[in-house]
Amino acid sequence: MLSIEEIRRNPKQPRVDFDTKELESLAQSIRKFGVIQPIIVKPSSVFGYEIVAGERRFRASQLAGKTRIPAIIRSYDVAEVETIALLENIQREDLNPIEEAVAYQNILANQQLTHEKLAQRVGKSRAYLTNMLRLLSLPKEVQMSLKTGELSNAQARTLLALKTKAQQLDLAKQAIEQGLTVRQLEAIVRLKQAGKSTKLREENIFLAEVEEDLKKHFGTTVVIKGSDTKGKIELSYADLEELNRILALLKPPKEE
C-alpha cells in the first residue's frame, strides 16, 4: 500500500482525455469496495513512484478521497514504461484513434524503431500501424472530431484518399451533418477522384451505394441516372458473351 502523495503521474501517458463521469463512477465503486486491481509503479528518479499502468484507478482514488492505494512496484526503463502504458490502454480500448496514433508516433521517435518492429511489439499489423499514423495528417478539425467520436476511425481513413485538406475537412463536415456511412463516404470519394459531379449523389447518396453493389454483382460498368423516385439503370457489355452472362444474371431463379 503506497501513499497517494508518493505517486506521480506518467508524463508519457498516451491517454489524454479522461471522462469525468466515468471517473466519478469508478470513484464511487472505490469508496465502497476499494481498489480491487493494484496499479503498477516504478521508482521515480525525482520523488516516490511513477505510474506505469493504472492512472485511471489512481485518479478515481483521488476523487474518492483515498490516501493510500495498492500498488505493484517494478523496475522498468523509459522505453518499457512508454510501451506498457500504451499496451494497457490499447487492451482496455481506452484510447481514441488520435491518442493511439500520437502514442505510436512518440514511441517511433523516442525509441528509434521501425514500423515493423513497433507493430510486432504492440501486436498489430504493419498496415494497421501505418494507417493509424496517417490519421495525424488530417486537418486538426477532423482529428478533433475523431477524438470526440463524431467521426469513426473507418470514416477518417476514407477521407485520406482525398487530395487536399480542404476537401477532407468539407467532406468530414458533410459526413457529420448528414450522418453518412463509410460506404457512402467511399462513393463520394470515388466520384471526386474521377472528377465527376457529386451534387446528385450528395442529395441521394444511397444511389451511389446501389450503383456500387450492382457493379460488383454484374461485373461490369453500371450507371444509375435519375433520382430516388424515377430514373433508369444502364449496364454496359463489351461483346455477345458478356451480354449473355449479364442476361443470365438477370433471369429469375427457376421454381422447384
- For the chain, the structural domain boundaries read 2-95, 204-256
pLDDT tens per residue, range 30-78: 998 888 889 999 988 888 999 888 888 899 999 999 999 999 998 887 7
pLDDT tens per residue, range 162-187: 889 999 999 999 999 988 888 888 88
- 10 Å CB burial of residue 253 (0-12, 13-18, 19+) is exposed
Residue 109's alpha-carbon distances to 114, 115, 159, in angstroms, are 10, 11, 26
2-95 CATH fold: 3.90.1530
Which pLDDT does position 103 carry in this prediction? 85
Residues β-bridged to residue 224? 233
Q: Which of 29-43, 148-162, 202-216 has the lowest mean pLDDT?
A: 202-216
Q: Give the Cβ contact number of residue 239 at 10 Å.
A: 8
Q: Band the pLDDT of 1: cuts 50, 70, 90.
A: very high
Residue 153 has pLDDT above 80, yes or no: yes
Rg for the chain, CA atoms, rounded: 26
Choose the catalytic residue: 55, 88, 99, 100: 55
Residue 92 has pLDDT above 70, yes or no: no
pTM of the entire structure?
0.56
Which pLDDT does position 178 carry in this prediction? 86
Residue 23 has pLDDT above 70, yes or no: yes
Residue 200 has pLDDT above 50, yes or no: no
Q: Is 100 a catalytic residue?
A: no
Over residues 188-199, the mean pLDDT reads: 71
Residues counted in the chain: 256
